[in-house]
Structure 1
Amino acid sequence: MATLTKTNRRDFLKIAGTTAGGLFIGFNWMSCDSPKMEVLSEEEVLAQAKNFNAYLSIAPSGDIVIYSPNPELGQNIKTSFPMVVAEELDADWERVHVIQANLDQNKFDRQLTGGSGAMPHSWERLRKAGATAKYLLIAAAAKEWGVPASEITASKGFVSHKNSGKEASFGDLAIAASNLEAPEDVPLKNPKDFKIIGTPVKNVDNPAIFTGKPLYGLDFYREGMLHAMIQRPPFGMKIKSIDDSEAKGVAGISDVLQFDNSVAIIGSSTWPLMKAKKLLKVEYEPDGLVESSADHDRLFKEMLASNNAEERRRDGNVEQAFSTAAQVVTAEYQCPFLSHSPMEPMNFFAHVKENSAELVGPTQTPDRAASTAAEVLGIPKENITVEITRLGGGFGRRLRADYVEEAVKVSQMMKAPVKVTWSREDDITGGAYRPAVRYRFEAALDANGNMVGYKLKGAGINAGNSTRQNNFPSGAVDNVLIESIDHKSPITTNPWRAPITNFLAYAEQSFLDEVALAAQRDPVEFRLSLLERAKANPVGGELGYDADRMIGVIKTAAEKSNWGKDSNVSQGFSVYFSHRTYVAQVADIEMENGSPVLKKITAATDCGMVINPTGANHQVRGGIVDGMGHAMYGNLTFENGLPTQKNFDKYRLIRMKEVPQIDVHYVDSGFDPTGLGEPALPPTGGAVANAIYKATKRRLRRQPFIEQEEFSDLNLEIKRA
């Protein structure tokens, strides 16, 4: 697999077409529909490129180039997309090149990375692009050789005719194929014939990453550009006074500017900027609400007691179910704010000119970056270009454009190209956190231990709707009431990997274990019985999930983990559906010297067809480590509008030595591929918490686990197997 790191569109066309021209197929990459593919000459591509979203090209040299629009932040989309095209094309994978697309507002209708939606959105489109190219190559060979196209086969970049012994490379046929008309419909492969899809393929950017070639926003450099770092205010405060005398005295500092409610320090490189920022003296005063963590604890109590919550779902007669219940189980679960903390802190380059702007950097939403710049500058959006670098992580943080806006404003003020870089302290204290939420659950049981009533009330701080009212166990219980209430806070929040479900799954799955215990039933059997109820006669009509697929991952996880078969191992179970994917997990804990030690997590995943087992395993394992680490350690508290934790000395992340054995299994449900960047994270906290309860008989109802008072006498550990 060859990877081209140039991102300039003309460079792409030059490589793709070569001097002799070639085959270009324009197709709408992100649309759900499948329009007719069109064959274009190189001149037509240059003249009419705005009418198309993406291109598959085949050069006379035999090289195949795919222009990839979605930002790559580690979800491996830059590898899996071309695998799908190459599969249907029957290409030689070693001759495939991938180029990261820049923002093109006319061609791409979903040029973003978020919600684990890229592959399910593009699956059919990518297949048809490859299949159409193969159809044209075979048609060109049939015409040249005077044989029926049905007798010609394609394999690894060549087409051949068995009876005559004739063979030609894709490159040999590219020019002839470019003169043929693309069909309306083309046959797609039977999945049983796949040769590339389903095989382990390494990340196409690996060679550049391993050799330190510039791929990321932090790598970007432009001769003559200025560097800037920003001092931002505490949440709910405004600038009262500024003393920049000492900061300006640092060698390499050229200016200190105030804009909006922030202060920009301008200089020649980031090191003097960091030194000067520490010497900058800014005094703040309240500008509305200034909140601390103590305020949030009070707010949660008030919201859960409030009658002003918004009703999200109501099935049956909830009041009667609870008033006549043989037993009622009640519990509350709470999670803190969390920082996204990607490995690469926020950074962006902007060069604002008289009536245009050039933007370069890591963004999950390049169109939002352009829109933000256009609004700030008061110029047409089409006058703004956005070059997308590889992202050193995002987890939802780079869905926002606040750091882009800073670069644009500073460049406008300085009338020069500027790169804004955040320090790690800026990144953790700069806002856009995972919302803090508290849930109250109630379950009504009849005399036989059946759950006949279920209530969930979510209270969030800048969380919006903190529930997922159509997810399990909705549809499996006759009487259901789900409500949410939200507090608007000056502390900014943002989608955080698997938004809302990242904590809701832990709380819900832990509570279902509490209910199973009260009903004296096995946790796995209890969930399966609910799902059979939902499958046979779902309450409230159509389900928001597929009961059969959830049953499939539950049974697989139980089987692969030897659920309940080893009396020396305490096991915790959890299952969740999010982003179209189903994941069940079992955590194994053993007691050592009186302390619970997490030894292994077994995961069963139904994400439809697995495109690339290597990338899929990375996503599942990464999601589990992320979910486990933040449930165990992550915490962000506030004092007078400022986070108490400012760097990794106090904001605790999981360490490599703490990652246990993770066994990954997949359920082949026969469905098309679904999302995988986020769904493995939500079930993890519940599996671990339920296993800890099984081992210690102590229930974890707050995150992070290590800070719970109930465990002050125990040493919670994670060990590598």
Structure 2
Amino acid sequence: MENVTNSRRDFLKKSAMTGGGLVLGFNWFNVEAAPVIVADSAIAAGNIGFNSYLSIAADGIITIMSPNPELGQNIMTSFPMVVAEELEADWTKVKVLQANLDNKFQRQLTGGSGAVPHSWKLLRTAGATAKAMLIQAAAQKWGFPAAECSAAIGFVTHPSGKKSGYGDLAEAASKVPVPTDVKLKDRKDFKIIGTRVRNVENKKIVTGKPLFGMDVYREGMLFAMVQRPESFGMKLKSVDAAAAKAMPGIVDVVTFKNNVAVVGKSTWQVMKARKLLKVEYEKDGAIESTDDHNKLFLSLMDTGTATVRRKDGDVDAAFKNAAKVVKGEYQCPFLSHSPMEPMNFFADVRADGIELIGPTQTPAGARSQVSKLLNVPEDKITLQLTRLGGGFGRRLQNDYALEAAEVSSLMKAPIKLVWSKEDDMTGGVYRPAVRYRFEAALDASGNLTGYKLRGVGINSGNSTRENNFPSGAVDNLLIDSVEHKSPITTGAWRAPITNFLAYAEQSFLDEVAQAAGKDPVAFRLELLEKAKAKPVGDIRYDINRMIGVIKLAAEKSGWGKNKNVSQGFSVYFSHASYVAQVAEVEMQSGMPVVKKIFAIADCGQVVNLGGARQQVMGGVVDGFGHAMYSKLSFKDGAAEQKNYNTYRLIRMKEIPEVETHFVDNGIDPTGLGEPALPPTGGAVANAIFKATGKRLRSQPFIDQDVFKAIS
């Protein structure tokens, strides 16, 4: 990787390199995104009090900084598309640069599927403001009212035939007063938004350009790998590093906290030396195994102290008077995030400040944590973002960045810290293991009169989403949760909590529909219509949007009409978006095989149709693959699966056809990075039940009886 820190000053120098350019800065704390004009002298001095930059050079090249970390969600393409749309830019002349961490950015992180929803108006206003200034500059140049001029594809034109490119107008535009109120385009006039635009980094990715943290290289840097306790609940007792230190290329072995870092001149050398460490550990808390967790789940489900998350009506009376009660329990294992790129980070801790470079979903968090760890003011710490080779929530945590900074501080040298895949798999921050118990009360007519859900989670916090459907549609409802604290570290995993809850909940609703003698789709629509007509308590989901995706999924899949396949349905609301899915299963050699999944998404305005389709398909494959194949188990506090040879992921040949559709409802964008994952497990499980008559009560599905012959 090029040895350059892209500071604000560096960017401004680069973007104005051709001279006479217009540079606009947008204050991300201001919803109106009011721009600031920057003179060339100010550019040279770097006296800029803002953080999001749009530059137009004299040659017409438009440079847009993308602030959020890019981990494959295509934000580096979507953000510039929004700006370019309102700017009426020529997309072929748009360049995109990854912004580094800057205090003035707002929500400079990747997580929660919130980047585009948060920045939608800010980005549009940024482009519209620049366009207005370019039009004003042209109008002054030609002596016409600005209202008579228009912009398109990087040019300003007038009915008289006058025409000037943005590059020719940039210098004059920099002297135009900044408009305080600009009109945004009508959706019907969008030319870029809603189309298919290729990822701006595609060529760099496929030609192996140094984009990722693993590519970072600095002359004179040292490499480090850390030996951590192999079991959760253990701590470091003693270290004999003599053999490791004697290996070629090893500079030193240092101990900090509960860890031992081997530092040397190459990754291969430190990896070999680390194997020669003689480390002794001692107990430091509970030592837990998967068998212990299974017993805990059953015990805590009945005896644990539950926290009530939501209660509507008289639940006891509803169940006492029920004509029929339906019960079901569902359980999921821990999961590893398992990104292709292992954790890594570069740190150079010097007396005059700290330089950090690497892949993180939360760069501001990394900087503040390093600041606290080493007692260095944040304004003395710079952080340069690289592209992330996968994250899925794992890189919301910055433990690996802290390790790099601490080792650099101890060694007084620039350090590139690298985890092996085994480190990644066994090092914690997993999806929590959870068990759910559902109960439903039906009256004599098959109406749902009572509903109970209890979640028992291991380090999951609140293992429920108490305000999601069917809350608001049931007169008598109780949702509570029980928590077990474990030394096994957990964290957000793509679509936190809902990644498994949706499967369990949607599977159970199918059980209830069957007990009520009703079609699964009709049953859900009936509940939603009831919530619409007579809502119970607080409803925090949009009933009409959920109804919309359900009906469109039934239509596109031909629900109930294809007699050659068994269909399963699921719908879920998460991250402000709605996704309904229909899975189709065929029996082959006595085994159920998922052949196709229809996915209908309502995420508001789609910015990049190609990228959005990839997000939905990726979410479906992720949801299906992990529900079907993946698990992480423990023995004596240690993860039993340590690499891909034992941690099962979906294979290319196992991916079913995925057909995607989007609801065009005209509203602003809502989340899309995660919402397609939660419904998948339920749709597949319900289709398998339809084909085999057997309910899948736990994940991975491959461990269940219906798959025993092929597992």
TM-score where L is the length of structure 2: 0.97
Partner of 2:434: 437
Say whether the 8 Å CA contact 2:73–2:673 is kept in structure 1.
yes
Identity, in percent, stands at: 65
Partner of 2:27: 28
Distance 1:46 1:481, change over 3 A: farther
Alpha-carbon distance in structure 2 between the residues aligned to 1:306 and 1:91? 63
Say whether the 8 Å CA contact 2:701–2:707 is kept in structure 1.
no
Distance 1:186 1:712, change over 3 A: closer
Say whether the 8 Å CA contact 2:9–2:43 is kept in structure 1.
no
Partner of 2:41: 43
Shift of 1:151: 1.6
Alignment of 1:239-638 (within 5 A): 239-306=236-303, 308-541=305-538, 543-638=539-634
Partner of 2:63: 65
Alignment of 1:42-191 (within 5 A): 42-44=40-42, 51-105=49-103, 107-162=104-159, 164-191=160-187
Q: Which amino acid aligns with 1:167?
A: K
Q: Which amino acid aligns with 1:590?
A: E
Instruction: Provide structure 1 residue ranges, at least 5 long, that are not aligned to the other structure.
Output: 717-721
Partner of 1:204: 200
Alpha-carbon distance in structure 1 between the residues aligned to 2:17 and 2:406? 41
Q: Which amino acid aligns with 1:461?
A: I
Q: Which amino acid aligns with 2:87?
A: L
Alpha-carbon distance in structure 1 between the residues aligned to 2:5 and 2:438? 53
SS of the residue corresponding to residue 394 of structure 1 reads coil
Cα deviation code 1:408-438 (max 9, x no counterpart): 1110111100000000000000100001111
Query: Which of 687, 706, 710 is residue 711 of structure 1 equivalent to?
Result: 706
SS of the residue corresponding to residue 502 of structure 1 reads helix
- Length, aligned pairs only: 707
Q: Please, what is the CA RMSD of the aligned residues?
A: 1.4
Say whether the 8 Å CA contact 1:32–1:121 is kept in structure 2.
no
Q: Which amino acid aligns with 2:356?
A: L
Partner of 2:220: 224
Alpha-carbon distance in structure 2 between the residues aligned to 1:45 and 1:527? 59
Say whether the 8 Å CA contact 2:577–2:672 is kept in structure 1.
yes
Deviation larger for 230-239 or 40-49: 40-49
SS of the residue corresponding to residue 686 of structure 1 reads helix
Distance 1:615 1:434, change over 3 A: same
Shift of 1:49: 5.3
Shift of 1:627: 0.5
Shift of 1:50: 5.3
Cα deviation code 1:336-378 (max 9, x no counterpart): 1100011110000000011421100001011111111111111
Say whether the 8 Å CA contact 1:22–1:41 is kept in structure 2.
no
Cα deviation code 1:530-567 (max 9, x no counterpart): 111112221103x1110100111111111111111112
Say whether the 8 Å CA contact 2:8–2:51 is kept in structure 1.
no
Q: Which amino acid aligns with 2:36?
A: E
Shift of 1:112: 0.6
Say whether the 8 Å CA contact 2:245–2:253 is kept in structure 1.
yes
SS of the residue corresponding to residue 51 of structure 1 reads coil
Distance 1:20 1:46, change over 3 A: closer
Q: Which amino acid aligns with 1:659?
A: I
Partner of 1:648: 644
* 1:665 and 2:661 aligned: yes
Deviation larger for 615-624 or 306-315: 306-315
Alpha-carbon distance in structure 2 between the residues aligned to 1:377 and 1:459? 38
Shift of 1:250: 2.7
Shift of 1:307: 5.4
Shift of 1:713: 4.5
Cα deviation code 1:140-160 (max 9, x no counterpart): 111111112122111110111
Alpha-carbon distance in structure 1 between the residues aligned to 2:695 and 2:707? 13
Shift of 1:615: 0.5
Distance 1:486 1:475, change over 3 A: same
Shift of 1:639: 1.0
Say whether the 8 Å CA contact 2:598–2:659 is kept in structure 1.
yes
Alpha-carbon distance in structure 2 between the residues aligned to 1:715 and 1:445? 38
SS of the residue corresponding to residue 223 of structure 2 reads strand
Shift of 1:314: 0.5
Q: Which amino acid aligns with 2:120?
A: W
Shift of 1:47: 5.4
SS of the residue corresponding to residue 275 of structure 2 reads helix
SS of the residue corresponding to residue 103 of structure 1 reads coil
Shift of 1:186: 0.5
Partner of 1:719: none
Alpha-carbon distance in structure 1 between the residues aligned to 2:126 and 2:98? 18
Shift of 1:712: 5.4
SS of the residue corresponding to residue 532 of structure 2 reads helix
Q: Which amino acid aligns with 1:711?
A: V
Shift of 1:43: 3.2
Q: Kindly report structure 1 stretches of 4+ aligned residues shifted beyond 4 Å.
A: 45-50
SS of the residue corresponding to residue 279 of structure 1 reads coil
Cα deviation code 1:647-706 (max 9, x no counterpart): 001100111111111000111111111111100000000011111110001110101111
Distance 1:325 1:42, change over 3 A: farther
TM-score where L is the length of structure 1: 0.96
Alpha-carbon distance in structure 1 between the residues aligned to 2:643 and 2:408? 28
Say whether the 8 Å CA contact 2:304–2:482 is kept in structure 1.
no
Shift of 1:270: 0.9
Say whether the 8 Å CA contact 2:18–2:59 is kept in structure 1.
no
Q: Which amino acid aligns with 2:477?
A: V
Alpha-carbon distance in structure 2 between the residues aligned to 1:593 and 1:391? 41
Say whether the 8 Å CA contact 1:32–1:122 is kept in structure 2.
no
Alpha-carbon distance in structure 2 between the residues aligned to 1:140 and 1:254? 61
Shift of 1:19: 4.6
Cα deviation code 1:218-263 (max 9, x no counterpart): 0000000000000111211012222323323332222222111111
Say whether the 8 Å CA contact 1:6–1:12 is kept in structure 2.
no
SS of the residue corresponding to residue 463 of structure 1 reads coil
Shift of 1:280: 2.0
SS of the residue corresponding to residue 214 of structure 2 reads helix
SS of the residue corresponding to residue 61 of structure 1 reads coil
Cα deviation code 1:579-636 (max 9, x no counterpart): 0110000000011121111100000000101111110011000001100010011100
Say whether the 8 Å CA contact 1:458–1:485 is kept in structure 2.
yes
